[in-house]
Chains A and B, each alone.
Chain A
């Protein structure tokens, strides 16, 4: 299985600040990447995904991520965060065989009003 690393375990931002969460994956040929969000007390929800094509992927709620193959990265960005973005964010990679997902350890984002 592939591995995924998220460098920031906790991030604290003020509202309107810009966000970038790092995600790096291990090399494995063709990669399919995901960002999930888990709001407090809720289930995991898909923010966005990359399979192929345009490396800049736009997701829900104003989030986007850029796939940079040379850096094995898939960082999540949002130009201006809101208090409601407070949640835990997980990067994940689809393992070869297109069967299972491997998740990163997650980044807890706290946005202060």
Chain B
């Protein structure tokens, strides 16, 4: 149980174009999902918290207009990288919390396999 998928797993796009990455919770409902960015040999940096039915909460330094997040349903959040540039090339990982849990178990995050974005 508690499986999170991401699509696509790898995408190459040209500079100036937009790319959408999907994050799905396959066997549970997630009112809260998180988007991370991971640079090579570095840690996961939280970009934003995605809340179902409301606006995402972005971390300091993350451009809201560049990284558009939509959490339209309890099982799907999307991250759109708009007007992508080579410096946006990175590994993007999402995670989700199981809305069906309570107490301390509700804090656990289940991670997707990540999406490798390369902007040429």
Seen from chain A, the residues whose Cβ lies within 8 Å of a Cβ on chain B are 32, 36, 42-46, 49, 51, 90, 94, 98-106, 108
Contact B108 A49 (CB under 8 A): yes
- Is B34 at the interface (CB under 8 A from chain A)? yes
Given contacts A51-B104, A100-B34, contact A43 B46 (CB under 8 A): no
Please, which residues of chain A bring their CB within 8 A of the CB of B45?
103
- Whether B43 pairs with A43 at a CB distance below 8 angstroms is no
**CB–CB B114/A43 < 8 A:** yes
- Whole-angstrom distance between the alpha carbons of A101 and B108 in the complex? 10
Cβ of B12 under 8 Å from chain A: no
Q: What per-residue 1/0 map shows which CB atoms of B25-44 lie under 8 Å from chain A?
A: 00000000010000001111
> Please, how many angstroms separate the alpha-carbon atoms of A105 and B46 in the complex?
13
**Is B113 in contact with A32, judged by CB distance below 8 angstroms?**
no
- Cα–Cα, bound, A105→B39 (Å): 10
Cβ–Cβ < 8 Å partners of B41 in chain A:
106, 108
Residues of A within 8 A of B93 (CB): 43-44
- Inside 8 A of A51's CB, which chain B residues have their CB? 104, 107
Cross-chain contact B113 with A106 (CB below 8 angstroms): no
- Contacting residue for A32 out of B43, B44, B95, B107, CB 8 A: B107
